[in-house]
């Protein structure tokens, strides 16, 4: 093949590919000149060009068809659209809320996990608490609450005893009677009623009693000893039946500052209805010293987790509802 025919073939292909754009004036000046030069010499391309132009002319002459029916919207569409927009907005708000809550949930989970694994240790006065310490702290808080409840029961019983004694003296009661009357209640701590009540309160601290108590948080003496001092009847009068109760009452922190004499008082308490102990009235447990900031953040993260999960569920339900309304 000669050089001139090769050039001609290349130009022919170039022009054939661009005839359409050339016809519409969509080629660059340089390409348009090149196509124009080839068209002047190539009969085949001239014919194609003529046919393409005729095709476009014919299509441009194709008749316009009148629309068979009007597409205008009824006036009722206005209120429907307003309703649709309201649901659209509600849907968007729900969706945004879900995204925000999900992000906060992830953040809270991260904070919680970071504290649990000990990745994050906030600066504090005392050495930062390790992950193990946080577990102990949680158990301690439960144990301290139980101890306080027990203390409150003991205090109320002592008060009741004092009042009863005073009443007995004033009314001239025989000395033997209160003792006999008090004999039954003295044994009662060993009976199932109260023992169960106490042990049920002390259930969270069972694990704590089994595990060695941290020395820095527990006061003087072992927890078992502290409880035995506070509740002698429960631990000493019946060795066999009350052993599990004594164990159950083995609390990590005993804040009883009552002297042993007052601790005996429950045995003398009359068989009167047990005064209800308001657990909520118990003072909140203060966190261990030096862990204030870390403790607060961790507790807040845990609280936030629950709230966020609830909120997420509510938003998911709302999203489904708004989505259905929007589609309707």
Partner 1 sequence: MNEQAIIAAAQKGDVNAYNRLVVAYQELAYNVAYRVLGNSDRAADATQDSFLRGYKALGDFRGGSFKSWILRIVTNSCYDQLRVMRRRPTTPIDDLLEDDEHSSLMEDHSESPEDYVERRELDGVVQTALNTLPEDQRIVVVLSDIQGYSYDEIAQITSVSLGTVKSRLSRGRAKMRDYLVAHREQLPVSVRL
The site for partner 1 (CB under 8 A) is made up of 17, 19-21, 24, 26, 51-52, 54-75, 77-78, 81-82, 84-85
Q: Do 135 and 302 contact (CB within 8 A), yes or no?
A: no
Least Å distance, CB 312 to partner 1, is 28
Least Å distance, CB 17 to partner 1, is 7
Q: Give 58 or 261: the residue with its C-beta nearer to partner 1.
A: 58
Least Å distance, CB 15 to partner 1, is 12
For 276, counting Cβ atoms within 10 Å of its Cβ (0-12 exposed, 13-18 middle, 19+ buried), the class is: exposed
Using CA atoms of 93, 96, 101, 103 in order, give the dihedral in degrees to the nearest 10: -170
For 212, counting Cβ atoms within 10 Å of its Cβ (0-12 exposed, 13-18 middle, 19+ buried), the class is: exposed
Q: Do 273 and 119 contact (CB within 8 A), yes or no?
A: no
Q: Give 29 or 170: the residue with its C-beta nearer to partner 1.
A: 29
Q: Give 58 or 180: the residue with its C-beta nearer to partner 1.
A: 58
Q: Give 7 or 77: the residue with its C-beta nearer to partner 1.
A: 77
Least Å distance, CB 31 to partner 1, is 12
Token reading at 198: 């106490």
Q: Give 67 or 276: the residue with its C-beta nearer to partner 1.
A: 67
d(CA 36, CA 41): 9
d(CA 137, CA 143): 10
Residue 234, number of CB atoms within 10 A of its CB:
25
Q: Give 54 or 103: the residue with its C-beta nearer to partner 1.
A: 54
Q: Where would I find the H helices in the chain?
A: 3-23, 29-41, 43-60, 76-117, 131-171, 176-187, 192-202, 206-210, 223-230, 232, 243-248, 260-268, 292-327
Q: Give 55 or 130: the residue with its C-beta nearer to partner 1.
A: 55
Least Å distance, CB 80 to partner 1, is 9
Least Å distance, CB 38 to partner 1, is 17
Q: Do 163 and 212 contact (CB within 8 A), yes or no?
A: no
Token reading at 50: 């003529």
Least Å distance, CB 16 to partner 1, is 9
């Amino acid at each position: 093949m000669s050089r001139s025919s090769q050039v001609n073939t290349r130009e022919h292909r170039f022009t054939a590919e661009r005839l359409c754009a050339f016809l519409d004036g969509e080629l660059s000046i340089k390409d348009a000149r090149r196509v124009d030069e080839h068209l002047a010499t190539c009969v085949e391309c001239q014919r194609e060009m003529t046919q393409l132009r005729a095709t476009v002319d014919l299509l441009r002459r194709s008749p316009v068809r009148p629309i068979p029916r009007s597409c205008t919207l009824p006036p009722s569409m206005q209120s429907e659209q307003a309703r649709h927009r309201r649901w659209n907005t509600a849907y968007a708000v729900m969706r945004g809320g879900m995204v925000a809550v999900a992000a906060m949930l992830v953040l809270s989970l991260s904070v919680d996990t970071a504290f649990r694994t000990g990745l994050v240790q906030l600066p504090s006065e005392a050495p930062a608490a390790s992950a193990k310490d946080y577990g102990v702290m949680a158990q301690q808080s439960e144990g301290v609450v139980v101890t306080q409840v027990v203390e409150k029961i003991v205090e109320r019983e002592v008060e009741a005893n004092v009042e009863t004694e005073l009443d007995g003296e004033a009314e001239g009661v025989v000395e033997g009677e209160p003792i006999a009357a008090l004999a039954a209640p003295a044994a009662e701590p060993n009976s199932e009623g109260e023992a169960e009540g106490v042990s049920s309160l002390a259930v969270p601290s069972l694990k704590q009693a089994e595990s060695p108590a941290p020395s820095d948080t527990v006061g003087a003496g072992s927890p078992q000893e502290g409880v035995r001092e506070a509740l002698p009847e429960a631990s000493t009068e019946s060795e066999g039946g009350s052993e599990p109760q004594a164990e159950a009452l083995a609390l990590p922190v005993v804040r009883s500052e009552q002297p042993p004499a007052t601790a005996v008082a429950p045995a003398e308490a009359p068989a009167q209805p047990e005064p209800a102990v308001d657990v909520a009235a118990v003072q909140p447990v203060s966190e261990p010293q030096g862990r204030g900031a870390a403790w607060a953040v961790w507790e807040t993260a845990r609280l936030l987790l629950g709230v966020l999960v609830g909120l997420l569920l509510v938003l998911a339900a709302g999203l489904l509802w708004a989505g259905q309304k929007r589609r309707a």
